[in-house]
A and B are shown apart, each in its own frame.
Chain A
């Protein structure tokens, strides 16, 4: 049963997956081109100096990209399920309901993981070539918070999409916006270092929220 579910999700999201990869790589590439331009115009010394003196990391442009990719993936994956009443059919399959949803979410997380890891490797390879380890760590640890926000955004949007009633859905949106705000409270590089384990832990737990929406769907809650 696992394979057909994964295949169904793949059919649903393959074009979006391609687009997400292209857009995220595009933004990463553009950020790296900007770094290249700074090096070309003002030299490598200037780049290091600006990073050390002014705490600039040159990839701020990517701040909200993982979040947007995560939110849109959840919309692409779960809105058709709700709108075309496919979820009802899915939940009638001879497979534990919550496990079906867990597999769907796992698929989404894997898609995001592939997309984000690809970006991380892209950035790492480029920066390791031109910057000292400390500066590379400085950039990547800062970006890590944004990528975790991408996963959280995905899981919270899935929770919102799966919710059967609009009244509750609006409450969920308000909660999700507040939770996601926590990821963007500071622009100081590496400000989240000590808080990252908490954010990762909480993000992992947010899988449970979608189960609550499915439970409400199963028990017949509707507008």
Chain B
């Protein structure tokens, strides 16, 4: 028994050293690795970059042209429109489109998602807001739903009991449209801090895609036709101001799609791949273009997309090849490391890493 006790003690010491020493080394040597702010400009048809340097921030494009602060505002009129309005420099028209603050504001959007938002514990209860209450402000409902193996159940919050009538109403509405329980994905934005509500996008047991919301107290369910062979893996309901886009989606092959609101058309975006469990994404969109930035440990990929036909305007890569000397040395000193937490998820578990130290 004493042999096992000793083994346990040595095992504990080794595990703790594999965890604490690399952590301390990283804590003492880590430095900020900031990615320069990069946005596509439809004015110069190139990427505009805000590059921090020793002499301050340098504003330039990929062609090497350097811009002053006000010139930089002008080449990104949709992003800096408030500054341009304040300076009286907002163009009246751009690419044949009349510009005014309201249009710009409505069409501008920012979407961000990081892997830790996908890799986290999920409670499995969802509030279904009233999408068409007739009131300007959204209100949280008095019930929440969960989807079981054979039905959707609404639980009344006050009584903590199942609302049988509403549950049957929505179960029947889903079944009528061909929904096969249980749900694989339930995606929505259950918050009142948004302009309007589009309910939830769901996929069923057979990977069919559905849109479900509550309209004037009644169920709204629509099956969305998706091309054969596409298996939706992640859904991000957007609810942007312009109401043109219903959601971003990815499939099993990590292809990125956009789902249009009115036509429910699924359009594949010209992005090599996006794995929401491993990569971060930001989409900064306006009337004319979207800048999609997909980043992971290997670096950043940028895709400029035409906002009208979703075609690729320009692509660029910024590989993460800035491994510092301390990181290289760290890799040699600690060939095997143990961590319990990660920036890519919210779970605590043992994860061993080897090789490069970052």
Contacts and interface: CB of A to CB of B under 8 A. Distances in A.
Interface of A: 44-45, 48-49, 51-53, 98, 129-132, 134-135, 138, 175, 178-179, 182, 185-186, 188-195, 198, 205-206, 208-209, 211-212, 215
Q: DSSP class of B's interface residues: helix, strand, loop or mixed? A: loop
The 9 closest A-B pairs by CB, nearest first: A190-B121, A212-B5, A208-B5, A195-B349, A188-B346, A178-B16, A134-B124, A191-B348, A186-B348
B347 A194 contact: yes
B341 interface: yes
Interface stretch (B29-37, B40-48, B154-162, B318-326): B154-162
B27 interface: no
A132 B125 contact: yes
Contacts of A198: 349-350
Contacts of A45: 140, 142, 157-158
B20 interface: yes
B342 to A, nearest CB: 10
A134 B123 contact: yes
A195 B1 contact: no
A11 to B, nearest CB: 28
A195 B350 contact: yes
A188 B157 CA distance: 24
A188 B1 contact: no
B316 interface: no
A59 to B, nearest CB: 15
Contacts of B16: 175, 178-179
Nearest to A45: B157
A44 B348 contact: no
Interface in B130-176: 140, 142, 144, 146, 155, 157-158, 160
Interface stretch (B7-15, B83-91, B302-310): B7-15
A212 B2 contact: yes
Interface string B321-358: 00000000000000000001100001111100000000
A44 B155 CA distance: 13
Given A186-B341, A195-B348, A52 B12 contact: no
Contacts of A188: 120-121, 346
B121 A182 contact: no
Contacts of B346: 186, 188, 191
A211 B12 contact: no
21 contacts: A48-B144, A52-B125, A52-B144, A131-B160, A132-B125, A134-B123, A175-B9, A175-B16, A179-B12, A185-B341, A185-B348, A188-B346, A192-B348, A194-B347, A195-B348, A195-B350, A205-B8, A209-B9, A211-B1, A211-B5, A212-B2
B262 interface: no
Contact of A182 (B8, B123, B191, B340): B340
Given A45-B157, A178-B20, A208 B347 contact: no
Contacts of A194: 347, 349
Given A134-B125, A195-B350, 19 more contacts: A44-B157, A45-B142, A45-B157, A48-B125, A49-B127, A52-B127, A132-B144, A135-B123, A175-B9, A175-B13, A185-B340, A185-B348, A191-B346, A192-B347, A195-B349, A205-B8, A212-B2, A212-B5, A212-B6
